[in-house]
Structure 1
Amino acid sequence: MTTQESGPQRWAAVDEYAEALLIGADEVLDEARAAADKAGLPPIAVAANQGKLLHLLARIGGARRILEIGTLAGYSTIWMARALPADGALTTLEIDPAHAAVATANLERAGLADLVEVKVGAARDSLAELTGAGVEPYDLVFVDADKANIPHYVQACLALTRPGSVIVVDNVVRDGRLADADSTDEAVRGVRRLHDLIAAEPQLDATTVQTVGSRGYDGFTLIRVEG
């Protein structure tokens, strides 16, 4: 690739360069992606560098309990579970039983089944169940699910976290359409409602960061739960 080339090709090339130097080959993660492809799951899992970011956030914050909303094939789940201490735990919520089955097999191959619980069902129901059970607060939450319900998920997480907990919401920029107040796309409307919620909620302090890379033009919202 020449330095004159730009756009998606360059974005992907930078990801490949950084991943080769800073992450390297990983047979377990490669097998997880292959299993997802074989099962016909959509190719929408986080990129390797994004998975590593989640892993580092968990380690930097000393996360012992992690909640994930949207499991897919468990690729991001593996990244985060690897950051947990021996007495840690990760709960991941997945609405599709077929996706959950692939994820469960991937987690078993990764040797992480004892650290991870895959809960199958609508996230709204699972979050209400966790809240009703009075579970110990989560230190890190990763939200990567249907965007129309994102505000509800984040609001529900206020009862499942503690001051200092971190919430990461993926895919919020939507190729720049986040800024389109007239959008009729439910995903865009959902992430805009999320930003309205954060702006109005004193318990949440956040920033949204645009990203480019092998997954195109998007971004994430990083939230800290306040006291």
Structure 2
Amino acid sequence: MVERTEAPDPRWTAVDHYIADQLLGDEPALAGALRANASAGLPDIDVAPAQGRMLHLFVRMTRARRVLEIGTLGGYSAIELARALPEGGRLVTLEVDPHHAATAQANIARAGLGDRVEVRVGPAADTLRALDGPFDLIFIDADKPSNVTYLREALRLSRPGTTIVVDNVIREGGVLDADSGDDRIRGTRALFDAVAAEPRLTATAIQTVGVKKWDGFLLAVMAG
């Protein structure tokens, strides 16, 4: 999620906690992953619990069997994605930082999902080129200046009907700043331009608020 510079509105946080308490239930593997990530010194930028469950539901709704995640961090979202896979399904997740990848692998193994998740370590621009498609769902949540590169590779690895989800596309409203000096905002705006210019994609973007403040995600489907 977006790097937080201030505390979120307490009402947003309260609503997120209400959603989690009412709908998500007790999640020892996910809670344990967050604790392990904090102990390992990973940044607190995992997807929020409600949004992690949204990713899980996307996998089930699309009946995805092959899922690609660009940006593993500590494996929180990978656990949600992998849990939704059917028997024989597979998640490939890419992480540039070896320490983050090792933490994620341990979290995924503790969640009992090691047999359906492959963590590949290295710059995603390189590891993506070694992959063959198609994937049924692709989740992009890595360095924002490379968003367009990741989108192009996602298109190569897609089939008609593939769902592409990109996180952190609102950036507390920073996406509106055409003159921003922030590479992450420039990369996000370039992503919007690239998606808008791609005739094979039908897309929208949704703003969100919650424990991770004001952000959102882009959702696109490859044409048939």
- Name the TM tier (shorter chain): over 0.9
SS in 2 for 1:210: strand
Distance 2:66 2:160 in 1: 14
RMSD (Å) for aligned C-alpha atoms? 0.8
Pick from 209, 217, 222: which aligns with 1:220? 217
Pick from 207, 212, 215: which aligns with 1:210? 207
1:60-96 deviations in whole A, cap 9, x for unaligned? Answer: 1101000000000000000000000111000000000
Q: Runs ≥4 in structure 1, deviation > 3 angstroms?
A: none
**Structure 1 partner of 2:4:** none
Pick from 153, 164, 167: which aligns with 1:167? 164
**Structure 1 partner of 2:68:** 67
Q: Is residue 133–residue 156 contact of structure 2 (8 Å, CA) maintained in 1?
A: no
Distance 1:215 1:226 in 2: 32
Instruction: List aligned pairs for 1:134-173, cutoff 5 A.
Output: 135-173=132-170
**Structure 2 partner of 1:117:** 118
**Structure 2 partner of 1:99:** 100
SS in 2 for 1:111: coil
**Structure 2 partner of 1:3:** none
1:197-221 deviations in whole A, cap 9, x for unaligned? Answer: 0111111111011110000000100
Distance 2:58 2:38 in 1: 27
Distance 2:160 2:199 in 1: 12
Q: Is residue 203–residue 221 contact of structure 2 (8 Å, CA) maintained in 1?
A: yes
**Structure 1 partner of 2:5:** none
More relative contact order in 1 or in 2 (CA 8 Å, sep 6+)? 2
Q: Which has the larger radius of gyration?
A: 1
Q: Structure 2: which 5+ runs fail to align?
A: 1-7
The offset of 1:159, in angstroms, is 1.0
More strand by percentage: 1
Q: Structure 1: which 5+ runs fail to align?
A: 1-6
1:106-164 deviations in whole A, cap 9, x for unaligned? Answer: 0110010000000000000011111xxxx241011110000000111011111101110
